[in-house]
Amino acid sequence: MSENAIEVEGLVKRYGDKVVVDHVSMAVKSGEIAGFLGPNGSGKTTTIRMMCGLLTPNEGRGTVLGLDLVRDSLAIKREVGYMTQKFSFYEDLSIEENLMFVARLYRLKPAREKVLATLEDLGLASRRNQLAGSLSGGWKQRLALGACTLPSPKLLLLDEPTAGVDPKARRDFWNEIHALAAEGLTVLVSTHYMDEAERCHEIAYIAYGKLLAQGTVDEVIAGTGLVTWTVSGPEVHRLQSELENVPGIDMMAPFGTSLHVAGRDPKALEKAIAPYRERPDLKWQKGEATLEDAFIDLMRRAEDNFQ
């Protein structure tokens, strides 16, 4: 396998006259965990579906696991595990029955031994006879991960896999993902959670069909060029409305009882906040831009492709 498990260039997907994915180019290194970030409707799911051979791009080219994205789409499907946003297994079958169905679908041999090993590896053995429809979100997620990894894929594509599950289930899930990556599996995971994105080796940010940033978390944050101040005090929400249109302030975001105030020109930002730093009821502290700051700033600057 080449250094990159995924290499795509200029991917375009249209539905009628709407461009849903607009010339996206990105790469994911083999054996790494890559995060795919972006607001709802940004084109993440469509891009992932093109990568796993479920959708054919209107334009662009690329390889997945060394296989041509268009010509070898069937072969790609055999080598990739794809976990969809929505739980997509039979709710009136048990956990074990669902996994047996997947094993037979992929013609795995010996099927029962492979299913039993997966049940043990993911802590599902004690619930093997429980109906999938009666599982909580976290256990459904674990079943879906088991089904995706059962055929021993070389690449996992996970589309918002932890949406709607509790923090402990999310942490357990990510422990499993890192364990799989340590064994050489490549993972591309879309997420809205900043703490999850920070657990990835690299991240890519897409908004309204366009890829706006890619790199390590530190590189993406640095790429925004944001200088950030944190201000706290009583009724800080009123301060936000006062600063809304002040020149030199490019972005504001409330965080609990504090407010992040950021700009790309340090001198202009200093001038903008100078009068407010003299107020005794406000406490100002120079800070570092966070990934969430970068996320909000990139989303704010993106152009809606459906307007």
3-state secondary structure of 1: coil
Domain assignment present for residue 302? The answer is no
Q: Which of 190, 220, 250 is the last residue of a domain?
A: 220
What is the number of structural domains in the chain?
A: 2
Domain assignment present for residue 299? The answer is no
Domain assignment present for residue 300? The answer is no
State how far the Cα of 289 lies from the Cα of 267, in Å rounded to an integer.
17
State how far the Cα of 284 lies from the Cα of 213, in Å rounded to an integer.
30
Q: pLDDT (tens digit, 0 to 9) for every residue of the chain, 307 residues total? A: 468 999 999 999 999 999 999 999 999 999 999 999 988 888 999 999 999 999 999 999 999 999 999 999 999 999 999 999 888 899 999 999 999 999 999 999 999 999 999 999 888 999 999 999 999 888 998 999 999 999 999 999 999 998 878 888 888 889 999 999 999 999 999 988 888 999 999 999 999 899 999 999 999 999 999 999 999 988 788 899 899 889 999 999 888 889 999 999 999 999 999 999 999 999 999 988 999 889 888 888 776 555 5
Query: Do residues 61 and 71 touch, judged by C-beta distance below 8 A?
Result: no
Domain assignment present for residue 294? The answer is no
**Do 141 and 62 belong together in one domain?**
yes
**Do 129 and 245 belong together in one domain?**
no
Query: Do residues 74 and 54 touch, judged by C-beta distance below 8 A?
Result: no
State how far the Cα of 20 lies from the Cα of 306, in Å rounded to an integer.
9
Domain assignment present for residue 235? The answer is yes
Residue found by looking up tokens 């599950």 in the block: 165
**Do 113 and 258 belong together in one domain?**
no
**Do 167 and 44 belong together in one domain?**
yes
3-state secondary structure of 26: strand
Look up the domain containing 278 and give its range.
226-288
Q: Which of 204, 220, 236 is the last residue of a domain?
A: 220
Cis, bond preceding 57 (omega within 30 deg of 0): no
Letter for the amino acid at 10? G
127: domain CATH number is: 3.40.50.300
